[in-house]
C-alpha cells in the first residue's frame, strides 16, 4: 500500500453538461431516496467526496430540492447507515411525526437510513458524513433524536473540525484516512452522548447501554460475565435479555473485537502480523482466530489484505462520479466495511 498517496477525491462538476441534464446528474448520486427539484431554471450543483473506509465525507453546493425516502425505498434498497449533515448555508426542513422542524446554518442533522424521511432544502452549502451503523453504535447507542440535533459546545467542536477537515482532505495521505474517520466518529459520539437513546428494537436498552460502555472501557478480550454482573449490579438473566439478539454478551464482545480487528487490517499503514494484531484484540490462539475470522466475514485475513477493494486505494478509481459515490456509500451498509 502506497502510504504516501493522497486520499482520492472524486468531484462532480456539471458545467459541461446541458442545463436540462444537470439535475439528473445530481439526483443519480442518491438511490435510496427520490430527489425532486423545488425551483426552476438551470440547476446548480458542485460536489466532492472522499471515502475514508468507515465513512464517506462529502462537501456539496446545490439548489433547492426535496429528498423523500419512503418505506418502499427503505425496503427496496437496503441502505443501513447514518447520515450526518453539517449545514454551512441555507435551510433544511425535516417532516417528522411530531411536525416540521427547520434548521439553519451552523446546525447539524442526523438521519437513519433504515427509517423513512422527507426533507425540503433551500439552496445550500453543506458537509455530509455517511457513517457505517456499527462504527457509530459501537461508541454510542442509537439516539432517539433524528432530524436537527440540539446545539452544544461538543456539537460546535464537531462542526469546526468537519469544516477544517474538508479543507485539509485534498492534501491528506491515505495512511491517515482511518485515523481521521476515527476522530470524526469520536467527536460525533461526544456530541450525541447526552441525547436519550432510542428504545425501539433495543431490548432492555438501558442495561444494554451500560454494558456496551463498560465493555468499551475494558482491555480487549478481558470481559467476564460474573465480573460484569457484579460491577454493574445486574443479574445474568437481565444481561441475557439485553443481548439476546447478539447471541449473548460474550458473542457481542467477540464480534465487536473482530470488526475492530477487521478495520485494523484494512488500514494501509498497519503492517503488523495477524498473530500480533489478534493478540492485541484479545485473540491469543491464531488458529482459532483464523477460523472465527473466516466464519464471520466469509474470507481470511490474508484475503482481506489482498482484496481488490483494498487494492483500489492504491490505484485511481474508475467509473462515473455517480457510480463511485453510490458504491462508496453502499459499502457502508455491508458488515465488512469495505
Q: Does residue 336 carry a pLDDT above 50? A: no
**258: which residues sit within 8 A by CB, 6+ positions away?**
281, 292, 293, 296, 297
| Burial of 137 (C-beta count, 10 Å sphere; 0-12/13-18/19+) | middle
- At 91-138, the pLDDT tens digits run 999 998 888 999 999 999 999 988 899 999 999 999 999 998 878 877
Q: What is the pLDDT of residues 214-258, one digit of tens each?
A: 898 899 999 999 999 998 888 898 888 888 877 899 999 998 899
Q: Which domains does the chain have, with CATH numbers?
A: 10-197 (2.60.120.10), 205-308 (1.10.10.60)
- Alpha carbons 53 and 322: distance in angstroms, whole number: 18
Task: Kindly report the pTM of this predicted structure.
Answer: 0.68
Joined together, the cell numbers standing for residue 308 give 481488490
Determine the 3-state secondary structure of 117 from DSSP.
strand
Strands of the chain (E only): list them: 10-13, 34-37, 45-51, 55-62, 65-69, 81-89, 92-96, 99-103, 107-112, 117-121, 124-132, 147-148
Give the per-residue pLDDT at 202: 44
Three-class SS state of 110: strand
The mean of the pLDDT values for the chain is: 85
What is the pLDDT confidence band of residue 1, given thresholds at 50, 70 and 90?
Answer: very low
323 pLDDT above the threshold of 90: no
Task: Return all residues near 20 (Cβ < 8 A) that are at least 6 apart.
Answer: none
pLDDT at position 335, please?
43
Name beta bridge partners: 34. 68
pLDDT at 314: 44
The predicted pLDDT at position 212 comes to 86
Q: Could you give the C-alpha distances from 302 to 1, 47, 165, 178, in angstroms and in order? A: 14, 35, 32, 19
Amino acid at each position: 500500500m502506497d502510504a504516501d498517496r493522497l486520499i482520492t477525491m472524486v468531484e462532480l462538476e456539471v458545467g459541461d453538461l446541458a442545463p436540462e441534464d444537470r439535475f439528473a446528474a445530481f439526483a443519480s448520486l442518491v438511490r435510496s431516496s427520490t430527489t425532486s427539484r423545488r425551483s426552476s431554471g438551470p440547476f446548480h450543483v458542485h460536489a466532492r467526496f472522499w471515502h475514508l473506509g468507515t465513512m464517506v465525507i462529502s462537501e456539496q453546493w446545490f439548489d433547492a430540492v426535496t429528498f423523500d425516502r419512503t418505506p418502499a425505498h427503505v425496503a427496496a434498497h437496503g441502505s443501513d447507515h447514518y447520515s450526518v449533515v453539517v449545514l454551512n448555508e441555507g435551510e433544511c426542513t425535516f417532516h417528522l411525526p411530531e411536525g416540521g422542524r427547520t434548521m439553519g446554518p451552523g446546525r447539524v442533522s442526523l438521519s437513519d437510513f433504515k427509517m423513512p424521511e422527507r426533507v425540503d432544502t433551500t439552496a445550500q452549502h453543506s458537509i455530509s458524513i455517511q457513517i457505517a451503523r456499527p462504527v457509530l453504535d459501537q461508541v454510542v447507542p442509537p439516539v432517539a433524536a433524528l432530524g436537527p440535533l440540539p446545539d452544544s459546545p461538543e456539537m460546535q467542536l464537531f462542526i469546526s473540525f468537519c469544516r477544517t477537515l474538508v479543507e485539509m482532505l485534498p492534501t491528506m495521505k491515505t495512511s491517515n484516512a482511518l485515523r481521521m474517520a476515527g476522530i470524526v466518529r469520536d467527536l460525533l459520539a461526544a456530541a450525541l452522548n447526552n441525547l436519550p437513546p432510542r428504545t425501539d428494537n433495543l431490548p432492555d436498552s438501558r442495561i444494554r447501554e451500560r454494558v456496551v460502555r463498560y465493555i468499551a472501557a475494558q482491555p480487549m478480550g478481558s470481559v467476564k460475565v460474573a465480573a460484569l454482573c457484579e460491577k454493574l449490579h445486574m443479574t445474568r438473566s437481565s444481561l441475557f435479555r439485553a443481548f439476546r439478539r447478539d447471541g449473548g454478551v460474550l458473542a457481542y464482545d467477540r464480534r465487536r473485537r473482530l470488526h475492530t480487528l477487521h478495520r485494523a487490517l484494512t488500514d494501509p499503514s498497519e503492517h503488523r502480523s495477524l498473530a500480533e494484531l489478534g493478540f492485541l484484540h484479545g485473540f491469543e490462539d491464531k488458529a482459532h482466530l483464523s477460523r472465527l475470522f473466516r466464519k464471520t466475514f466469509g474470507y481470511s485475513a490474508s484475503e482481506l489484505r489482498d482484496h481488490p477493494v483494498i487494492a483500489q486505494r492504491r490505484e485511481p478509481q474508475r467509473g462515473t462520479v455517480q457510480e463511485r459515490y453510490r458504491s462508496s456509500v453502499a459499502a457502508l451498509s455491508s458488515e465488512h466495511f469495505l
